[in-house]
Amino acid sequence: MVRWEPGTLERLQLAALELFEERGYDGTTVADIAARAGLTERTFYRHYSDKREVLVSGSAELAALLARTIAAQPDGTAPLASVVAALDAAGELFDARRPFSMRRQAVVEASRDLREREFAKLEALTTTLTEALTERGVDARQAVLVANVGVSLFHVAFGRWIRDPGGREFAMFVHEALEDLQDAVPVAP
């Protein structure tokens, strides 16, 4: 009889991360991950479609948080300000998992398959932001543009945050990236 195991997702994620670090992504199988976690392959596949997904399982949670935060912004909030507020909220998720995120990013950077999955994740975030902005009444063309800018801010901020030896909060990097953008593209009077 199968019994419920607490912390299954975390165990699978940690096992996958350790094995990817030790053997590389290509040198690790789902069976290896399940065995390291003390679970069965069947349990793995109940939670993940393949081994790429084990390190990006928080994507749905992130997308939901971004959409909720944009929806909760006060009326009249500029679209980009709404996206920045959402990225700030996401920073709390990242900051809480900083050590894991740092290790995970090194594994992602070492694997072509995982880098491709990361780009797909960024594309999905663009769609999430676009839909959330459109639902707030932002013009569809403007929503696409702002969503793409938001994902660029996210990508730049994440890259800086993950390499920051000082351990500063993710939101600080979002605002630095926004300032860099504003400096690079001054608005004509």
pLDDT at 2: 43
Q: CATH 1.10.10.60 region(s) of the chain?
A: 8-53
Instruction: Please count the residues of the chain.
Output: 189
Cα 123 from Cα 150, distance rounded (Å): 11
pLDDT at 144: 98
Largest CA distance in the chain: 71
Q: CATH 1.10.357.10 region(s) of the chain?
A: 58-184
Give domain 58-184's CATH superfamily.
Tetracycline Repressor, domain 2 (1.10.357.10)
User: Of 96, 156, 146, 107, which Cα lies nearest the Cα of 126?
Assistant: 146
pTM: 0.88
Rounded to 10°, the helix 8-23/30-37 angle is 120
pLDDT at 187: 62
pLDDT mean by block of 10 residues, the chain; 189 residues: 65 95 96 96 93 86 96 97 98 92 93 91 96 97 98 97 94 97 78
Answer whether CATH 1.10.1040.10 is correct for domain 8-53: no
